[in-house]
Amino acid sequence: MTSRKDIRHILLYGVCLAVLIFTLKWLQWKVLILDNAVDVYVGLIAVFFTVLGVWMARQLVRTRVKTIVIEKEIIINNTEQATVNETELKKLNLSAREYEVLQLLTKGHSNAEIASHLYLSVSTIKTHVSNLFVKMDVKSRTQAIEKSKRLKIIH
Amino acid sequence: MTSRKDIRHILLYGVCLAVLIFTLKWLQWKVLILDNAVDVYVGLIAVFFTVLGVWMARQLVRTRVKTIVIEKEIIINNTEQATVNETELKKLNLSAREYEVLQLLTKGHSNAEIASHLYLSVSTIKTHVSNLFVKMDVKSRTQAIEKSKRLKIIH
DNA sequence: CCCGTATTCATACTTTAGTACCAATCTGTA
DNA sequence: TACAGATTGGTACTAAAGTATGAATACGGG
C-alpha cells in the first residue's frame, strides 16, 4: 500500500538527494578536494546518507502499525427468567382466576392462604385447584409447581 | 531497550562500514578515480548507505505491534441452574439423606413415590421431610420447593 | 333472550401430608 | 469404648389436600 504520505516522503528524499548532489558539485568546483581529504569526504557522505536512510525508514515504518484486535468474551449469565412463556400458557387454556390461583400456589401458599388473599372461600380455591390439575395434567400441587417452573409460565 | 539482536546489528553495520572503507581505499590506489567519475562514485556510496540505513532502521524498529483488546459481551441465556448455591446449602446443614429426599420432593414426587424410589418406608420419608422443614424453616413441602428454587440449592 | 363458560360456594368423602413421640441400628470421632 | 448424630421405622393423631357432585350467579356473543 503506497499511501500519499509515502509518496511525499519519497519526493522529499529526492529533493534532499538533488540538493546534496548540487552541494557536492559546488564543493567540487569551489573547494579543492585534496587527495587525503577523500576519506573524510566519503565518510561524511556515508554518515549523512545512513542517517537519512534511518530517518526515511522510521518515517515510513511509523505508519505501518500492526494492530491486533483481541476479542475478549465476557459471559453474562442471564439467570433470572424475565419473560413468561406465553405460548405454553395459552396451550393450557387457563381462566384468569385459575392463573391467579396458580401464581399463589407456586409461591408455596396453602389453599387457606390463597382463599384469604383473594377474599374467597377454601371451597372455591379447591375447585380452582382441581380444575387446574385437570388442565395441567398433574395430580398434586407439587407437580403443578414443577410443571409451571419447567414450562416457565410463572415469574 | 538495547537487546542482543540490536547489538549484533550495530556490529554488523560496523563491519559493513569497515569493509566499504577498505574497498574504497583499495579502489583509490588500484583504479584511478577520474575527475568525472566522482559523481558516480559519490552516488554509489549515497545509494549504498541509504539502503543500509533503511535496512538498519527496519531491523531495529521492526513493526510496532499495537494490541487492542475489545471486550465483547456475550449474553448466554442460562435458564437451567447449572451450579448449586453451595453456600446456602451448607447453611441449612442438611444430611445426605435429607438432601436426597429434598431433591425428589422438589421434582413434585409424593412421599410414597420418594419412599419407593429410595427403597424406604413412607414413615422414614415422613421423618426426613419433617426434619427438612425444621431445618429449612418452612411449614409445607410447597414452601420447601419455593425456598429451594429461590436459594438455588437444587438443580 | 338463550347458551356456554367462568366464577363462586357448599357438602361429603378419600387420600396425602405433616406432627409428635418413640426406638433400634449404624457410624465416625474423641 | 462411649457418645453424638444419622438413618431407619413404627404408631397414632391432626391438618391439609384433593375428588366428586351439585348449584347459584354473572357475563359476553349469536
Please indicate, yes or no, if residue B66 is contained in any of the structural domains.
no
In a shared domain, residues B39 and B93: no
Q: For B109-145, write each residue's pLDDT tens digit.
A: 999 999 999 999 999 999 999 999 999 999 999 999 9
Please indicate, yes or no, if residue A114 is contained in any of the structural domains.
yes
Calculate ∠ Cα A47-A51-A56, nearest 5°.
150
Helix axes A122-136, A111-118, angle to 10 degrees: 110
In a shared domain, residues A54 and A92: no
In a shared domain, residues A100 and A138: yes
Which grid cell is A20? 546534496
* C1'-nearest nucleotide to the CA of A122: C9
The whole domain housing B138 covers: 86-150
In a shared domain, residues B101 and B136: yes
Burial B80-94 (b: 16+ CB within 10 A, else e): eeeeeeeeebeebeb
Instruction: Report pLDDT for B2.
Output: 45
In a shared domain, residues A57 and A98: no
- The conformation of residue B63, written as its DSSP 8-state character, comes to P
Please indicate, yes or no, if residue A23 is contained in any of the structural domains.
yes
* C1'-nearest nucleotide to the CA of B129: C18
Q: Is the pTM of this model over 0.75?
A: no
**How many domains is chain B partitioned into structurally?**
2
- Within an 8 Å CB–CB cutoff, is residue B37 touching chain A? no
In a shared domain, residues A109 and A57: no
In a shared domain, residues B43 and B92: no
More confident residue, B12 or A118: A118
Full DSSP string of A36-84: GGHHHHHHHHHHHHHHHHHHHHHHHHHH-EEEEEEEEEEEEE--S--S-
Please indicate, yes or no, if residue B32 is contained in any of the structural domains.
yes
pLDDT at residue B81 tops 60: no
Mean pLDDT of B30-57: 69
In a shared domain, residues A40 and A91: no
pLDDT band of residue B149 (cuts 50, 70, 90) is very high
Mean pLDDT of B64-92: 73
Instruction: Report pLDDT for A2.
Output: 45
Q: Which residues of chain A have pLDDT under 70?
A: 1-18, 20-40, 59-66, 75-82
The CATH number that applies at residue B129 is 1.10.10.10
In a shared domain, residues B94 and B140: yes
Please indicate, yes or no, if residue B130 is contained in any of the structural domains.
yes
Q: Which of B45, B64, B143 sits opposite A45 (nearest CB)?
A: B45
Please indicate, yes or no, if residue A70 is contained in any of the structural domains.
no
Q: For A84-94, write each residue's pLDDT tens digit.
A: 788 889 999 99
Please indicate, yes or no, if residue B70 is contained in any of the structural domains.
no
pLDDT at residue B11 tops 60: yes
Question: What is the three-class DSSP state of A122?
Answer: helix
φ, ψ dihedrals at A83, nearest 5°: -105, 145
Instruction: Report pLDDT for A3.
Output: 55
CA(B127)–C1'(C21) in Å?
A: 12
Give the distance from CA B153 to its chain's centroid: 30
Please indicate, yes or no, if residue A71 is contained in any of the structural domains.
no
Give the distance from CA A75 to its chain's centroid: 11
CA(B140)–C1'(C23) in Å?
A: 26
